[in-house]
């Protein structure tokens, strides 16, 4: 039953952008302290239902906000993200906050102390609201976490649907207006998948564009941090501000772009609505003047062999084999079983897998000599009912396909961004569950991926957002 006595403050980003919010802070329309209070009021009302946050940093964050206000009054300007409240995935160390890595196993010593990424965000004046839920040790694409709890996808009040993983809480927080943006990590799709399943934007950066120190080392070969945001416009501001580049560059024109429309294995096992949305967005891009050609990348299927050999070996290395064997049975069964695969990998197989990843990264170049970007559905499904996706349930095996289309981007060492396209599905359902379009660009072409996504956003609109008032 709806609690009519609860007054939910308006989402500060409703109909606005991070840049506009920053302008309000600078012209005195709102203080950083007031803005941070609004976010905490929303968190305190909704988090008990949505479970986006595992740790709230209210007292310290309000103190930071007060400090930012004083700096602004003194004329100090740290850049466009100054005073913006954000959330951090709970595999990233933040000084003064616990790091659980989504596990009951003590592992903060493996994560280490606060790293360069968080320090950089602090130096830009971001206010860290708290830590968000994650799949245990970030090893999983569904968002399910038996031990620490599974965030609720805000698009459905009646059915607890997959939030996507492993950056589950980060995506739920952003989609629900509980943070202006959030930081996730992407080893096999863990920024793009939850962003897609929550109907927002997630950028998988090129390896080494953003640092990984102070982040649990699930896979040093494949780990990449990235932003999760409400719009591509905001994503561009975040990424370019972080990298200290000019964020006011001219947007691309769709009619000047060429796309490779990925087919098998990226179109295997698609939900009908996902397949329909994918075809319709490609048709619309052609109508707008873009060049579209179907492309098959057979090497993409190698992710099924390479990913478990590399990730399984490297998570065991992070723990040390004796510590891993002692603790693996305490892990969530899905996480533990996936991690155990590393025990079966010989040193020869691991080295061969690493060498093949290097080769694939060279192979990827040829596709981007022809196309500005490659396109695919971000996930093969819309968010599933988690009660049917758990071990032993009818949709468990299908839920494990959540990363089928994202893992190849990681093993090719390239970058990608997801943009919501459920609006292209035509039916009589009042509420369409999220569907993501994956836009893939070559290594170190992150800015280009963002600009292409922005061209789509300028043409087709910013993401629609869920109505979280139904959770009151």
Of 103, 166, 170, 403, the catalytic one is 166
Contacts for 218 with CB less than 8 Å, ≥ 6 apart: 91, 137, 138, 139, 185, 187, 311, 314, 315, 318
Under a CB-based contact definition with an 8 Å cutoff, are residues 116 and 124 in contact? no
Sort strands 436-441 and 415-420 into parallel, antiparallel or unpaired: antiparallel
Under a CB-based contact definition with an 8 Å cutoff, are residues 141 and 195 in contact? no
Candidates 186, 238, 242; CA nearest to 215 is 186
Q: Which run of H or of E encompasses 294? A: strand 291-295
**CA–CA gap between residue 204 and residue 194 (Å, rounded):** 12
Our CA angle for 417, 186, 362, nearest 5°, is: 75
Of 103, 167, 176, 190, the catalytic one is 190
**Is 236 a known active-site residue?**
no
Q: How many helices (H) and strands (E) are present in the chain, helices listed first?
A: 16, 11
Candidates 12, 446, 365; CA nearest to 203 is 446
Structure tokens at 39: 């976010």
Structure tokens at 374: 């490659």
Of 89, 236, 261, 303, the catalytic one is 89
**Is 251 a known active-site residue?**
no
Candidates 454, 120, 429, 446; CA nearest to 254 is 454
Candidates 83, 4, 105; CA nearest to 336 is 105
Q: How far from 142 is each of 123, 167, 358, CA to CA, in Å?
A: 33, 10, 28
Under a CB-based contact definition with an 8 Å cutoff, are residues 132 and 52 in contact? yes
**Is 301 a known active-site residue?**
no
Which residues participate in catalysis according to the annotation? 89, 166, 190
């Amino acid at each position: 039953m709806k609690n009519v006595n609860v007054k939910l403050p308006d989402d500060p980003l409703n109909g606005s952008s991070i840049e506009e919010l920053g302008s309000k802070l600078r012209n005195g329309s709102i203080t950083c302290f007031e803005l941070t209070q609004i976010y905490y009021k929303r968190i305190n009302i909704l988090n008990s239902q949505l479970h986006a946050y595992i740790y709230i940093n209210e007292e310290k964050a309000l103190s930071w906000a007060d400090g930012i206000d004083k700096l602004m009054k003194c004329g100090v300007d740290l850049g466009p993200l100054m005073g913006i409240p954000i959330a951090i995935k709970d595999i990233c160390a933040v000084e003064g906050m616990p790091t659980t890595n989504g596990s009951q196993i003590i592992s903060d010593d493996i994560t280490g102390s606060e790293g360069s990424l968080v320090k950089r965000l602090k130096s830009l004046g971001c206010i860290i609201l708290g830590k968000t839920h994650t799949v245990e040790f970030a090893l999983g694409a569904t968002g399910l976490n038996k031990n620490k709890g599974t965030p609720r996808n805000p698009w459905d009040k009646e059915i607890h649907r997959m939030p996507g993983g492993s950056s589950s809480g980060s995506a739920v927080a952003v989609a629900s207006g509980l943070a202006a943006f959030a930081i996730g990590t992407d080893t096999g799709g863990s920024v793009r998948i939850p962003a897609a399943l929550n109907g927002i934007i997630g950028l998988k950066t090129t390896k080494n564009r953003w640092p990984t120190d102070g982040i649990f080392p699930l896979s040093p070969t494949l780990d990449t941090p990235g932003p999760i945001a409400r719009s591509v416009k905001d994503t561009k501001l975040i990424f370019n501000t972080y990298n200290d580049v000019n964020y006011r560059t001219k947007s691309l024109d769709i009619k000047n772009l060429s796309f490779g429309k990925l087919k098998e294995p990226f179109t295997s096992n698609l939900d009908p609505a996902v397949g329909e949305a994918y075809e319709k967005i490609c048709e619309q891009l052609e109508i707008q003047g873009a060049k579209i050609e179907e492309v098959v990348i057979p090497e993409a299927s190698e992710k099924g062999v390479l990913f478990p050999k590399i990730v399984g070996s490297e998570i065991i290395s992070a723990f040390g084999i004796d510590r891993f064997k002692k603790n693996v049975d305490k892990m969530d069964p899905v996480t533990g079983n996936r991690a155990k695969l590393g025990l079966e990998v010989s040193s020869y197989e691991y080295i061969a897998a690493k060498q093949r990843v290097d080769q694939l990264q060279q192979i990827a170049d040829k596709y981007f000599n022809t196309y500005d970007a490659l396109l695919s559905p971000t996930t093969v499904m819309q968010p599933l009912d988690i009660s049917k996706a758990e071990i032993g349930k009818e949709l468990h095996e299908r839920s494990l396909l959540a990363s089928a289309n994202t893992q190849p981007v990681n093993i090719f060492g390239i970058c990608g961004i997801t943009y919501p396209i459920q609006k292209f599905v035509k039916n009589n359902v009042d509420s369409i569950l999220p569907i993501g379009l994956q836009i893939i660009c070559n290594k170190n072409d992150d800015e280009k991926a963002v600009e292409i996504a922005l061209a789509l956003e300028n043409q087709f609109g910013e993401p629609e957002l869920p109505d979280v008032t139904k959770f009151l």
